[in-house]
């Protein structure tokens, strides 16, 4: 079973994303901020990381940077953010993100993107 780590500071959205992806057959690890995600990353060893950009304690772009540099992981990273700000998106891609989706999002589209990134 593929493991997906979801990092989102909105508790309702975090829970909803977890439920959607569990129904798709994935094991889901929920983290309420980037700091918690970095603490769990090496233990969990997820197959995919979905992260927001704007979060307290550790910005999503910093999390992407740590995953790529500190943990030397090449897992796919999907940015899920309310910000369509071009600079934030470009920065995430420069640091190693593979895809991004803006909120609000279509759950079916998200599921397809997740499946594509995991294949």
Residue 110: which CATH number? 3.40.50.2300
Q: Work out how many domains the chain is built from and give that number.
A: 1
Q: Where are the alpha helices (DSSP H) in the chain?
A: 11-23, 34-44, 60-69, 86-95, 107-118
- The edge-to-edge listing of strands for the beta sheet with 99-102 is 27-31, 3-7, 48-51, 77-81, 99-102
Token pair 């550790």 is at which residue?
58
Query: What digits encode the pLDDT tens for the residues 18-39?
Result: 999 999 999 999 999 999 999 9
Report the 10 Å Cβ neighbour count for 22.
Answer: 12
**For 1-15, 16-30, 75-89, 98-112, which range has the lowest pLDDT when averaged over its residues?**
75-89
Is 90 exceeded by the pLDDT of residue 88?
Answer: no
Question: Domain residues for 39?
Answer: 3-118
Is 90 exceeded by the pLDDT of residue 115?
Answer: yes
Query: What digits encode the pLDDT tens for the residues 69-79?
Result: 999 999 999 99
């Amino acid at each position: 079973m593929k493991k997906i780590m979801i990092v989102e500071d909105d508790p309702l959205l975090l829970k909803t994303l977890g439920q959607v992806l569990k129904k798709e057959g994935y094991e889901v690890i929920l983290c309420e901020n980037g700091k918690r995600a970095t603490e769990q990353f090496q233990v969990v060893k997820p197959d995919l990381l979905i992260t927001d950009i704007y979060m307290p304690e550790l910005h999503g772009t910093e999390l992407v940077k740590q995953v790529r540099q500190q943990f030397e992981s090449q897992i796919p990273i999907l940015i899920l953010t309310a910000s369509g700000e071009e600079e934030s998106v470009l920065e995430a891609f420069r640091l190693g993100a593979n895809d991004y989706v803006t909120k609000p999002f279509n759950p079916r589209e998200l599921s397809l993107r997740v499946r594509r990134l995991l294949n």
